Structure 1
């Protein structure tokens, strides 16, 4: 299984690429949505990483996908500046992971 990153932050994208993780650097919402849907359809991808800003642009689509599909694992990571939503990040992550 492969990991895949969808990032709107160039530094985060390049860092993950240097770590051997394939992905795409995109800026606008339509491109982020297209990349996410494409990654969901790829049976080789086991983990999809979304930077927080990319996630916030397609949050409803991501949450719907998490509820409907057990696979791949979808996780949100901070960019180089950290999380925008500091309060309750771990609690929110756990709730999203189990579909609450």
Structure 2
């Protein structure tokens, strides 16, 4: 199984390409969606890495695929600028996923 990157910037694509991960650079929603659908069709891809800004443009499609329980797995990753989400985005994500508020 291979990794595949869907990125909104060339720096992330270049960095991951140096480690053997192929991918595409896309900017518009329709380009991102097309790259995502093509990656889903490729049976050799086991993990799709998608940069945070690209993922924000197709949230419903990512959510629907994750809930289907099918391969490939999808991971949202930061780009060279780091995470742009709130610092507690993981806590919010877990709370939304399980429906229980996590107190500190």
* TM-score computed with the length of structure 1 as normaliser: 0.88
Residue segments in structure 2 that go unaligned for 5+ positions in a row: 100-104
Equivalent position of 1:28 in the other structure: 28
Matches within 5 A, 1:2-81: 2-81=2-81
Superposition CA RMSD, Å: 2.0
1:82 aligns with 2:79: no
Provide runs of 4+ in structure 1 moved above 2 Å. Answer: 86-96
Q: Distance in 1 between matches of 2:60 and 2:83?
A: 19
Alignment check: 8 A CA contact 1:67 1:99 kept:
no
Which of 82-91 and 72-81 deviates more?
A: 82-91
Could you say which structure has the larger radius of gyration? 2
Residue segments in structure 1 that go unaligned for 5+ positions in a row: none
Q: May I ask how many residue pairs the two structures share in their alignment?
A: 99
* TM-score computed with the length of structure 2 as normaliser: 0.85
Instruction: Output one character per residue of 1:2-27: Cα deviation in whole Å (capped at 9) or x when no partner.
Output: 00000001101111111110111111
Return closer, same or farther for 1:99/1:50 CA change in 2, 3 Å cut-off. farther
